[in-house]
A = this chain, B = another copy of it.
């Protein structure tokens, strides 16, 4: 653990020196204000400890990382029926593409592209009030991270709502194919707030632990979701978690992960640890440039890679 702490500091120093830091997203006004100098990394281990370096106490909107939470909640509500409404395949297209939706008649390729997350949000909303769904999501995030400090960033939520035409188009398109039960504006209301879920890196790493530990939260007795479902969420993160950069990330890092355009990435080391990184500069696929580089370095040094084959690695 001493060496892990030192490694995180080393990674932090390494990223500070990087000149190629990507582009901060201008998709919404509230994100455009972020500085590309920001960097944070945190690792939560199974024994309850969380190590971190950089701006690890600074909250940020987790954006599409929240799609993991909505997926888990949607599966909790309707189970495998979900898969009649959303696929499990990489799309081969950008996160906000509408092309595939036309060709495949309103069934999004997977729950981690925007169209798919609108469907899981629709399932979570389930005819109820948007504020209730948002509340349930916030409670779920707080429980996972064991922290009451997690909040919805109202400024970000407002900004999302002001730049939502493309997501609104996706939602109406889903509706046109009968794949949205609630009213579009109500689904978007929830969607904008879940994107605005604000955490710091330490909280986000802890929130990922349930995916490392068979669905259990450290300290709790019963799993909140079944081990087999956890494996499947991890599998989806591996093949689809970084949009059309997922293959490259699997190749370079070898861990299930989910990114957001705010610059966050959460990565899972099954049976070991959860990692969160945050740095707002993005590559053309919408994934944090320094985040990926940090994860690549950390995973390599710790030999954390689900495809690692040395028996020595496993002891």
Contact = CB atoms under 8 A, between A and B. Distances in A.
Interface of A: 46, 87-93, 97-100, 102-103, 109-110, 165-166, 168-173, 175-176, 211-215, 227-228, 230-232, 234-236, 238-240, 244-248, 250-252, 254, 256, 270-271, 300, 305-311, 313-314
A300 B226 CA distance: 14
14 contacts: A88-B251, A89-B247, A89-B248, A98-B98, A98-B102, A99-B99, A165-B175, A166-B176, A213-B309, A236-B250, A238-B250, A239-B251, A271-B309, A314-B314
Contacts of A171: 169
Contact of A239 (B166, B230, B238): B238
User: What are the 8 tightest A-B residue pairs by CB atom distance, in nearest-first order?
Assistant: A92-B92, A165-B176, A90-B90, A89-B247, A234-B307, A169-B172, A306-B306, A169-B173
Give the number of times this chain occurs in the complex, counting copies.
Answer: 4
Given A99-B102, A270-B306, 20 more contacts: A89-B245, A89-B248, A90-B246, A98-B98, A98-B102, A99-B103, A165-B175, A165-B176, A169-B170, A211-B309, A213-B309, A231-B307, A235-B254, A235-B307, A239-B246, A256-B307, A270-B308, A270-B309, A271-B309, A271-B310
A271 B227 contact: no
Contact of A313 (B97, B271, B305): B271
B236 A247 contact: yes
Nearest to A90: B90
A129 to B, nearest CB: 22
Contacts of A240: 247
A252 B235 CA distance: 9
Contacts of A212: 309
Nearest to A231: B307
A59 to B, nearest CB: 27
